[in-house]
Amino acid sequence: MRKEAGCPKCGNKKYWKIRRGARRCSICRHEYRISVFPVRLKRSEWKSIIKWFILEQSISSISEQTGISRYQVMRALLHIRRLMALQVPEVFSGTVEVDETYLGGQWKNKKRSKRSTGAKRGRGTSKQPVFGILCRGGKIWATLVDDVQAKTLMPLIKKKVAKGSTVCSDTFRSYTGVASGGYVHRLVNHGEGEFSAGNGNHINGLEGFWGYLKRKLAAKGGIRRERLNLYLAEYLWRYNNRDKKTEQKVNAVLRLVYGKNSGSQVAKT
């Protein structure tokens, strides 16, 4: 069974068909096309690209190591990230952590018009908000969101976390309705310098991922906002597979390309 790709900008799967086989998202109006295989490469070439990708080499370095053009390497890596974006963890249960963060360039590098619309950091900033859920002893899931209001975050919690689970969060007002949603709600008060109550009530795991994500994105030197979801998918995949050896990771990505998802459709911006 094939997985239908959604809008590469917002993930919505409803669209209108428009000119020359393109699609227009019914929510954000972004135009995109569907591609099954964006670049023709031999299996050995795919494996070589994947190996250097796993080792976090640049496009130029991968091209030099493999003898494949930079353009083909770039298309191949975008295809890999789109396939990674389809790897969505199942519903979480047990003890989970929920939190939100904001992604964007350094404040001093933003345009004056951007600096005038929000604060430098934290809630109220003009940066891109991201919401995440981490299952203790398991995997992590995160997605770009329009805002961090309760009406946006609570449906995501209810969709991704099984009722009866223990949900750990900070004291942000958007999480006020967690207990009434059928969960055991545990709070950590960052405002009072509390980061762990000593009884497991913390969100240290998720905050650790946010730090990891921001360091990796900063090293890229700038990413277009419409591609941010693909890089988020990449680093979620890397984090969820961090305990595997390099060869295991290479084979896992190769299976995404040729294995059970080889017939998957992916969205092309």
Q: Is residue 90 part of a domain?
A: no
Residue 11: is its pLDDT beyond 80?
Answer: no
Q: How far apart are the first and last CA of the chain?
A: 24
**pLDDT tens digit string along 49-71?**
999 999 999 999 999 999 999 99
> Which residues are bridge partners to 184 per DSSP?
166
Q: Is residue 234 part of a domain?
A: no
The span from the CA of 189 to the CA of 215, in Å, is 25
3-state secondary structure (DSSP) of residue 174: helix
Contacts of 118 by beta carbon, 8 Å cutoff, 6+ apart = 124, 125, 126, 127
Contacts of 136 by beta carbon, 8 Å cutoff, 6+ apart = 94, 95, 96, 97, 205
Domain count, the chain: 2
Q: Are residues 81 and 154 in the same domain?
A: no
Strands lying side by side in the sheet with 95-103: 140-144, 128-135, 95-103, 166-170, 184-188
Q: Is residue 65 part of a domain?
A: yes
| Spatial contact of 55 and 200, defined as CB atoms under 8 Å apart | no
Burial (CB count within 10 angstroms: exposed 0-12, middle 13-18, buried 19+), residue 99: buried
Q: Is residue 229 part of a domain?
A: no
Q: Which of 7-11, 16-20, 43-47, 218-222 has the lowest mean pLDDT?
A: 7-11
Q: Are residues 141 and 254 in the same domain?
A: no
Residue 30: is its pLDDT beyond 80?
Answer: yes
For 52-65, letters b (16+ CB in 10 Å) and e give: bbbeebebeebbee
The pLDDT, as a whole number, for residue 261 is 43
Q: Are residues 126 and 102 in the same domain?
A: yes
Q: Is residue 5 part of a domain?
A: no
Mean pLDDT, the chain, whole residue set: 84
Q: Are residues 217 and 263 in the same domain?
A: no
Residue span of the structural domain in which 125 resides: 95-222
Q: Is the dihedral of CA 59, 261, 40, 249 positive or negative?
A: positive
Q: Is residue 113 part of a domain?
A: yes
Residue 87: is its pLDDT beyond 80?
Answer: yes
Q: Are residues 80 and 104 in the same domain?
A: no
Q: Are residues 100 and 45 in the same domain?
A: no
Residue 192: is its pLDDT beyond 60?
Answer: no
Residue 192: give its domain's CATH number: 3.30.420.10
Q: Which has more confidence, 20 or 98?
A: 98
Q: Are residues 52 and 34 in the same domain?
A: yes
User: Averaged over 35-48, what is the pLDDT?
Assistant: 82
Residue 165: is its pLDDT beyond 60?
Answer: yes
Distances 261 to 5, 36, 105 between C-alpha atoms, Å: 12, 10, 34
| Spatial contact of 151 and 131, defined as CB atoms under 8 Å apart | no
Q: Is residue 122 part of a domain?
A: yes
Q: Are residues 203 and 147 in the same domain?
A: yes
Q: Is residue 235 part of a domain?
A: no
Q: Are residues 80 and 99 in the same domain?
A: no
Query: 3 falls in which pLDDT band (50, 70, 90)?
Result: very low
The pLDDT, as a whole number, for residue 226 is 84
Q: Are residues 124 and 186 in the same domain?
A: yes
Q: Are residues 208 and 251 in the same domain?
A: no
**pLDDT tens digit string along 243-263?**
999 999 999 999 999 865 444
| Spatial contact of 14 and 232, defined as CB atoms under 8 Å apart | no
Q: Are residues 23 and 72 in the same domain?
A: yes
Residues of the chain with pLDDT > 90: what percent? 60
